[in-house]
Amino acid sequence: MSDVILEMRNITKVFPGVKALDDVSFSVREGEIHALVGENGAGKSTLMQVLSGVHPFGSYEGTIYFKGKECQFRNITQSEDVGLVIIHQELALVPFLSIVENLFLGNEQGKNGIINWNKAVSKSEGLLEKVGLDEAPATLVKDLGVGKQQLVEIAKALAKEVQLLILDEPTASLNDSDSEKLLDLLRQFRKNGISSILISHKLGEVLKVADSITILRDGATIETLDCNTDEITEDRIIRGMVGRDLTHRFPARDVKIGKKIFEVKDWNVYHPLQEERKVSDDINIYVREGEVVGVAGLMGAGRTELAMSIFGRSYGKNISGSAYKYGEEIDISTIQKAIAHGIAYATEDRKAYGLVLIHTIKDNISIANLQAVSQYGVIEDPKELSMVREFRDMLDIRCSSVLQLALNLSGGNQQKVVLSKWLFANQDILFLDEPTRGIDVGAKYEIYTIINQLASEGKAIVLLSSELPELLGICDRIYVMSEGKIVAEMKASDATQEKVMKHIMNHTR
Amino acid sequence: MKTLLTFLKKNVRDYGILIALIVIVVFFQNTTNGILLRPINITNLVLQNSYIVIMACGMLLVIVAGGIDLSVGSVAAFIGAVAAVFMVRYNMHWFLAIVLSLILGGFIGAFQGYWISYAKIPAFIVTLAGMLIFRGLTLVMLQGEAVGPFAVPFQRLSSGFIPDIFNYDGFHATTVLIGVIFSILIVVLDLYNRTKQKKYGFEVIPFYLMVVKNLLIVGAVLGLCWLMASYKGLPTVMIILFVLIILYSFVTSQTVIGRRIYAMGGNVKAAMLSGVNTERLYFLTFVNMGVLAALAGLIVAARLNVATPKAGDGFELDVIAAVFIGGASATGGIGKIIGAVVGAFMIGVMNNGMSIMGIGIDWQQAIKGIVLLLAVLFDVYSKKRIT
């Protein structure tokens, strides 16, 4: 058994009103990949923030030992100085600076405040090689894909002579091949003696690489599993995370499919900036009452672009094509018109596009349909409140009151608020873009249940998702999208992950 | 006692500014040997600050929507000049001049709003340009001279008082009567709201606290009216202020358009994707600002009884400061009319108090700046604690 590199003992962290961490102990051995899993709000991120000094010493209780020495970090710089680097889910790169500038940001190569660019560039080449990124150091970060940006972040950590790398949901926005590459890199680091802490919701990849798994639940350590000695399955981990068995990950539904409610024909959309580039190419899709239609595809396949262009042309340029509701052509050229025709688009990026975080749950739910609760432009508070509460109860949004601010909710509950907004607006054609991204297993199940319930009420649902098991689990029919085109359509009952991937690969080739 | 403390802690953002105003009033009341709260001075305070309050109502909407308007001082001066030229050089009827001026103010707001909202030029830049443009046009309009005086009815816009129906000597009983009616209204409305909120399960403040709160408010209203009654009674402009404050408080808190402005300021993309016509709404906040700046310009001209090229100089800073001191967020989405009004009076009391004390304009500026910084600092701090 190798030595312990990090040990956190009896960490307790209290936020006003909430005990985020309750006597948590956590240790990482030298040269291992240690996965940290748990539902949203279980305290994973808080624990890592305590570790990296985001929450300075003194704001929590307990002790931290790194390589046998007690640490009292007051800020991130101090924790980075000893070789502890955290890479956040939202990448912290400056898009308009080059790779090399980003690599040494805050760690500039030079003397007396003057940068030695030759040294920086030559050093950066070595780092990029280590992470397997084949790009010129002068390339601007904004021109790289998310996967490559992730590699730049890791190279940046290496530049700081990292000993313990902490990755928070590193593969959340990566496609399968990029994820695989990243995991390989972690394995390679393990060989070189660099330990990693991997926070992830994707249990499949956790099982692939982790040496040990620590499960957090409600701010407490539940257990630490050793992958080398124990037989561990996804179900085993889930049981630890939610404290119960999840027998079905996808709830069942009585499928009652009705008339064709919505259809787009010959839909073409061009990129808003690169006017030559087609992001949706001759798309023909339809959805029926009570049907859940999935749109599968890799990152950048153009799913979001398609949905947003349909939703009142909120994305793209030179949009052409026609839209029909119950066979009649409709005008959906503005968001207001699209909403009036019963179309809704629940965004993949809740925080940036879905919610007004600084406002209350109530205000967020009612905003798209204030007409329903007002007369002559004056809002009737009681009516608004009772309607909002109805949706809170229906979707089981967990909050102290509907007057709580949206920013204080967990990801799953925020997603429910976004859904409530469109249910409040009484829309019958719902485009749901990655509705379960970044939320935990328990909350995912609840979202699926809601989707099922809506479908059984006769609403039409178009589900855009990059998680194939999810699409296979809850859809009736699946469109496969690749590079702006629909390359296949299949019944979900006939579809398999391999089949879908094959269609995508055949097209890209 | 404990509930009182937790209540204050929770609502520190709402009440902090009010408490600060009281502290400042008490401070200057002391340092000016009681001159601050003399009837004549209170009346002056209201008259001097009416235009700041009026513009603060519009500025609050602009700032909540996520913008800023630096041109209001120049626009006010320009409208004052236009009205003066209409009335003095062209002998236009005062009422027609007022109506035309307000419409022109709306057009100026629309002009700036167009560039900001539809052409997507940052509000800071457009209104900075507007500040220069309209200051310049004021000079052009007045040809470098002061234009006046005006007809008496126009002057009354700013220097008039409401008529007294009782005619007691040396005491304006109507003012007190209005104060009493107003007090009763406040208490009844508050009780009504409380029962309504309770019925729908809102958290309400403890009853004894509400009694204390209402006693304080009623005391302040009656005290103010009493003081004013012993001078010349309520100034006409105060009625305009009341109407505007109540109207804008209502619009911001109770109407669809108000809710949408807050949503837009809080997250413009989310508002847009929820079907809010954000471009038009943003545009309208600037039109509204233009009209209110015009109204302020008229009142300034009426008060001085002359339109001068220097009128309204630096008003924009006082107005913006009032809104921020009143707790509005610089990034939009948060702010209250009542906060902006209290902020405006805070600046007014400071200006007035320091002038009475004989502090030079140099130090006045510096001190106001420090107060603004402290107010925003306090705001940032209290926000941090909420999140």
pLDDT of the residue at B8? 64
Q: Which residues of B touch A345 (CB under 8 A)?
A: 273
The answer as to whether B352 is a domain residue is: no
Cα A496 to Cα A483, A493, A504, B18, B111, distances in angstroms: 21, 8, 13, 65, 59
Render pLDDT for A141-186 as a digit per residue (tens, 0 to 9).
888 877 788 888 888 888 888 889 998 888 776 777 788 888 888 8
Q: Which residues of B touch A357 (CB under 8 A)?
A: 266-267
Residue in B256, B274, B333 nearest the CB of A358: B333
pLDDT of the residue at B386? 47
- Residue A277, classed as helix, strand or coil, is coil
Start-to-end Cα distance in chain B: 25
Which residue in B has a C-alpha nearest to residue A334's C-alpha? B275
Mean per-residue pLDDT, A398-407: 85
Interchain CB contact of B91 with A (< 8 Å): no
The answer as to whether B58 is a domain residue is: yes
CATH of A260-342+428-508, one of 3.40.50.300, 1.10.1040.10, 3.40.190.10, 3.40.710.10: 3.40.50.300
The answer as to whether B318 is a domain residue is: no
Q: Which residues of B touch A379 (CB under 8 A)?
A: 254-256, 259
pLDDT of the residue at B387? 43
pLDDT of the residue at A22? 86
Beta-carbon neighbour count of residue A26 at 10 Å? Answer: 21
Q: Is the pLDDT of residue A202 over 60?
A: yes
Cα B319 to Cα B58, B268, B310, distances in angstroms: 10, 24, 17
Which residue in A has a C-alpha nearest to residue B261's C-alpha? A367
pLDDT of the residue at B87? 92
Which residue in A has a C-alpha nearest to residue B329's C-alpha? A358
Average pLDDT of the residues of chain A:
86
Task: Provide the whole-model pTM.
Answer: 0.81
Show the domain range for B117.
Answer: 38-160+235-312
Counting the structural domains of chain B, the total is 1
Q: Which residues of A touch B385 (CB under 8 A)?
A: 16
- A331: pLDDT confidence band, cut at 50, 70 and 90? very high
Which residue in B has a C-alpha nearest to residue A339's C-alpha? B275
Region of residue A473 (left: phi > 0; alpha: psi -120 to 50; beta: else): alpha
Q: Are A330 and A358 in contact (CB under 8 A)?
A: no
The answer as to whether B126 is a domain residue is: yes
Rounded Cα distance between B376 and B330, Å, is: 9
Q: Which residues of A touch chain B, with CB atoms under 8 Å apart?
A: 16, 311, 314, 335-336, 339, 345, 347, 352-359, 363, 366-368, 370-371, 374, 377-379, 381-382, 385-386, 401, 403, 405, 407-408, 421, 425
In angstroms, the separation between the Cα of residue B248 and the nearest Cα of chain A is 13
| Type and span of the H or E element at A235 | helix A234-242
pLDDT of the residue at A508? 64
Percent of chain A surpassing pLDDT 70: 96
| Type and span of the H or E element at A393 | helix A381-395
Rounded Cα distance between A141 and A132, Å, is: 16
pLDDT of the residue at A244? 58
Render pLDDT for A221-245 as a digit per residue (tens, 0 to 9).
888 888 877 778 887 887 787 765 5
DSSP summary character for residue B66: T
Render pLDDT for A99-139 as a digit per residue (tens, 0 to 9).
998 888 877 888 888 888 888 888 888 888 888 888 888 88
Q: Is the pLDDT of residue A1 over 50?
A: no
In angstroms, the separation between the Cα of residue B270 and the nearest Cα of chain A is 4
The answer as to whether B269 is a domain residue is: yes
pLDDT of the residue at B11? 65
E strand spans, A428-484:
429-433, 460-464, 477-482
Interchain CB contact of B386 with A (< 8 Å): yes
* Complex ipTM: 0.85
Q: State the span(s) of chain A assigned CATH 3.40.50.300.
A: 4-242, 260-342+428-508
> B333 vs A377: CB contact, 8 Å cut-off?
no
Beta bridge partners of A193: none
Cα A366 to Cα A380, B48, B53, B248, B315, distances in angstroms: 12, 41, 31, 21, 37
Q: Is the pLDDT of residue A425 over 50?
A: yes
Cα A508 to Cα A298, A502, B23, B220, B367, distances in angstroms: 11, 10, 71, 75, 67
CATH superfamily of A4-242: P-loop containing nucleotide triphosphate hydrolases (3.40.50.300)
Mean per-residue pLDDT, A10-28: 82
Mean per-residue pLDDT, A305-309: 92
pLDDT of the residue at B122? 95
- Amino acid (one-letter) located at B287: V
The answer as to whether B334 is a domain residue is: no
Residue appearing with tokens 């080739």: A509
> Would you give per-residue pLDDT tens digits along chain B (387 residues)?
556 666 666 666 667 777 888 888 899 989 888 888 888 888 888 888 999 999 999 999 999 999 999 999 999 999 999 999 999 989 899 999 999 999 999 999 999 999 999 999 999 999 999 999 999 999 999 988 888 788 888 888 888 888 877 777 778 888 888 889 989 988 998 888 888 877 777 767 778 888 888 888 888 888 888 888 888 888 888 889 989 999 999 999 899 999 999 999 999 999 999 999 999 999 999 999 999 999 999 999 999 899 998 888 889 999 999 999 888 888 889 999 988 999 999 889 988 899 888 888 888 889 888 888 887 787 677 666 544
